Each structure stands twice: as C-alpha cells, then as structure tokens.
Amino acid sequence: MIAVIDYDTGNLKSVSKALEAVGAKVEVTNDPRLIGRAEVLVLPGVGAFYRGMENLKRLNLLPSIFEAVKEGKPLLGICLGLQLLFTESEEHGTCQGLDIIKGKVKKFQGKMKIPHMGWNQIRIQKSDDPQMRVPRRQTTRKCGCPEGRDQIFKGIPDGSYFYFVHSYYVVPDDKNVIAATTEYGIEFTSAIAKDNIFAVQFHPEKSGELGLKILENFLNVS
C-alpha cells in the first residue's frame, strides 16, 4: 500500500489519481499508524514551507516519516514535498525542515517572473555522467543508486517538459544527489535521488504521459 501523506497542503486528489492510473493501491491519510504500515510514502504539497512544517508537527507525522526513511522505505517528494526534505528554507526568515537531505531552500532572484509557473525542460543526470561520483553498489535502497536513477528516468527523453509551480528551489550540499536540473534564470535542481528517496520540484501528476511514466518508474524501482 502507498500512503499519500495528508498534511493539509492541497493537490492530494490529483496525486492519488495519478498513482492509481499507473496501478497503485493508494491511501490518502494523516494517520501515523497507517503511514507506518505503508510500503511506500508519497509526500506531496503546495504552498508555504513553514505552514507545511507546522502541519506535519501538529498532526504528529514526523516520527512516522523519520522511521520510514530509517527503515529504507521508498519515499517520493513532490514540489513542497521535495523542499521539506531539506535542512532549512529562506522562507519567512529561516525555517527548519526535515533535514533528511542536507541543504537549503532558496528564493528565485533577478528579473525572472515569480513564481516559476508552466512547462519547462529537465536535464537528466545519468549514471554514466562523468560528474557523478555515486558508487555502484547493490542496495535495497534503490532510488539513489546509479541503476535506480536510470530506471526512474527510463523512457523519459533528456530535455522533456514537465509542469512547474514554485517560487523557491533546493540547493543540496551534496551535488551527487542531483538527479535532474532545469534552467530558469539560473540552473536549479529539479529532481534529487538518495538511497530510498526520490523527489521532484515539478508536478508529475500535472505533466501528462511523461509525468505518469515517472510515477510508474518510481513504483517499479521501489
């Protein structure tokens, strides 16, 4: 069973419908016990970083998420769900995140229109990229190993377009976790993969057939 974590941040229905469209059995829940029993977790979300963290704390969902990550259960983060995985955000001063992925969440600067909204390309970091230094190894935490990354992007041409809506972007401390990048005034990280975690800044549930393909590939790797 896949638990789509409900922490009052929207887009739950579209995410769950997209997962069901690729054959997943989905429960939308804020019950820590059900989250603890799930085989796969999905952390979606739109809106403010600080509000997302407040809601996770208020609903007592942090222990279940941390335990699932510790146990090696696959976790998919989408949009705000990607950002919350990081150490801290610039939003509202400095706001502490889950600190599962070391790094910061920063706001777009410059003359580009904010939020970054609409279709944009991703550049996939494949396992044979000379800049990647992630060791090949056999692991039950498949998303972040090179073979797992390649499988997640199987059938996704480099330069494919996905749908974005965001004003902030993630900056991981460890560049090896970067799975894809996108250009919007600057080059920013649009997908990360580490151990049992895969997360994207774009919305696969709003990205047509290629978005569904990403979700299907994630479930196959998981």
pLDDT at residue number 149: 81
Annotated catalytic residue: which of 116, 166, 203, 216?
Answer: 203
Distance CA 84, CA 74 (A): 16
The answer to whether residue 203 is catalytic is yes
Query: Active-site residue among 79, 95, 143, 145?
Result: 79
145 is catalytic: no
pLDDT of residue 38: 98
CATH number of 2-221, picked from 3.30.420.40, 1.20.120.420, 3.40.50.880, 3.30.360.10 = 3.40.50.880
Which of 91, 145, 205, 216 is catalytic? The answer is: 205
For the cut 60, the answer to whether the pLDDT of residue 68 exceeds it is yes
Mean pLDDT, rounded, of the chain:
92
Structure tokens at 164: 């974005």
3-state helix, strand, coil in the chain (%, to 5): 30, 30, 40
Q: How many CB atoms lie under 10 A from the CB of residue 54?
A: 14
pTM value is: 0.92
Domain boundaries, given as residue ranges, for the chain? 2-221
Rounded to an integer, the average pLDDT of 172-179 is 97
